[in-house]
Amino acid sequence: MMDSYIYVLVALLPLSAAMVVFQVNPYHALVIRGILGAVAAMVYAVLGAADVSLTEALVGTMLAITLYAVAVRSSMVMRLGVLAEGAIATDSEGNRHFGQLLDDLRAILGKRHMRLELVTYKDQQDLHQALMEKEVHATCTRPEDIDCTTPDAEKQPYHTVTRVQRIYDIIQAELSSPATSITYVSIPEEKHS
């Protein structure tokens, strides 16, 4: 009867493990993974394995969570290449369209717990090269041959190009803003000799 609390502690292990597996938000999963490691360390300590408990607390909880947090933080970002300030929009209407486009992209990415990071380049050539060298996931520019009398130019003052198929699929399906057209480009993989 006195050791019934051990059964409760041991029952927390599969429960917290299942919570980690079924968690959608990667940041919440990190917190739950920390709880899982703490519960495991506590079970080992109660069962008399102090060395295993200490190892689980240090490596399984603190170090693993730190490394996972760095990996999640760096992989949950979409880098959008744009031209330097002033080259994107030359009028207040263009600034309004670009601001709305960025807000829409942030909302779409936010649903997937991602963030949008803008990377500026001085000219169109550098921007295109950054996309080809995989420095950015997508680029957003004004079409070079935009004709102000064309109705399409009024509807879509920006053109977004992405090299990531999944990002293209998400934005194509969910972007309701008429501020941009989106294109997917396939970048060939480099062959190493």
What count of residues does the chain have?
Answer: 193
Q: Count Cβ atoms below 10 Å from residue 125 Cβ, excluding itself.
A: 9
pLDDT of 157: 77
User: Averaged in consecutive runs of 10 residues, what is the pLDDT profile of the chain (193 residues)?
Assistant: 78 92 89 92 91 91 88 86 66 72 90 90 90 91 54 65 91 81 82 54
Those residues whose C-beta lies under 8 Å from the C-beta of residue 83, and which sit 6 or more positions away, are 120, 121, 122, 123, 124, 127, 141
**Structure confidence at residue 2 (pLDDT):** 61
Residue 189 DSSP one-character state = P
| pLDDT computed for residue 123 by the predictor | 87
